[in-house]
A = this chain, B = another copy of it.
């Protein structure tokens, strides 16, 4: 049970297609204390994270897949802009962002299914500006795990708001021991 699994496209899509509804079920209509507050400084709130996921749908995953399929190893991806969400979220409501994320994700998954990719396509490689050669299957696996890393982050950011409110239980609740795992100097969660 502990051995990592092989990449599988339908299993990856099954996860990707549930993410917008899962964030929606958790965050939609929730009081601002949970969605608009961050962990201090320039860290991200749940609201910021949804903006970041939108920006990824627009500029990262499927656009990079298209570059691999069209140019292979000859053309490096555009670097992803970790502050790209700032333009996405200005003046928007969380409900709007959740709808937009859902719409863009569905659109991207429709495009992905339409490609009808075969094992030899998934083995094709592209060039990441920092990581070097990466396979198309690795890009899609990372798309799914990137969703999970932001569930992980959002649950931590939300829990942080009740760090004092839980009193002596703080020692027992694992998420409050998490100091985060991103490292902005090397691209953070990307």
Copies of this protein in the complex: 2
> A90 on the interface (CB 8 Å rule)?
no
Nearest CB in chain B to that of A161: its residue: B5
Q: A119 to chain B: which residues have CB within 8 Å?
A: none
> A105 on the interface (CB 8 Å rule)?
no
Query: Nearest Cβ in chain B — how far from A59, in angstroms?
Result: 16
Q: A176 to chain B: which residues have CB within 8 Å?
A: 145, 149, 181
A7-B162, A175-B148 given; A15·B41 CB < 8 A = no
| Cβ B168 vs Cβ A152 within 8 A | no
Number of contacting residues on A, CB 8 A? 82
Nearest CB in chain B to that of A8: its residue: B33
| Cβ B169 vs Cβ A189 within 8 A | no
Q: A8 to chain B: which residues have CB within 8 Å?
A: 31, 33
* A176 CA / B167 CA spacing, docked (Å): 29
**Which residue of B3, B11, B25, B152 is within 8 Å of A159 (Cβ)?**
B152
| Cβ B4 vs Cβ A164 within 8 A | yes
Query: Nearest Cβ in chain B — how far from A89, in angstroms?
Result: 15
**Which residue of B34, B131, B162 is within 8 Å of A141 (Cβ)?**
B162
**Which residue of B4, B134, B139 is within 8 Å of A163 (Cβ)?**
B4
> A108 on the interface (CB 8 Å rule)?
no
- The segment from A16-24, A50-58, A65-73, A110-118 that touches chain B is A16-24
Q: A10 to chain B: which residues have CB within 8 Å?
A: 31
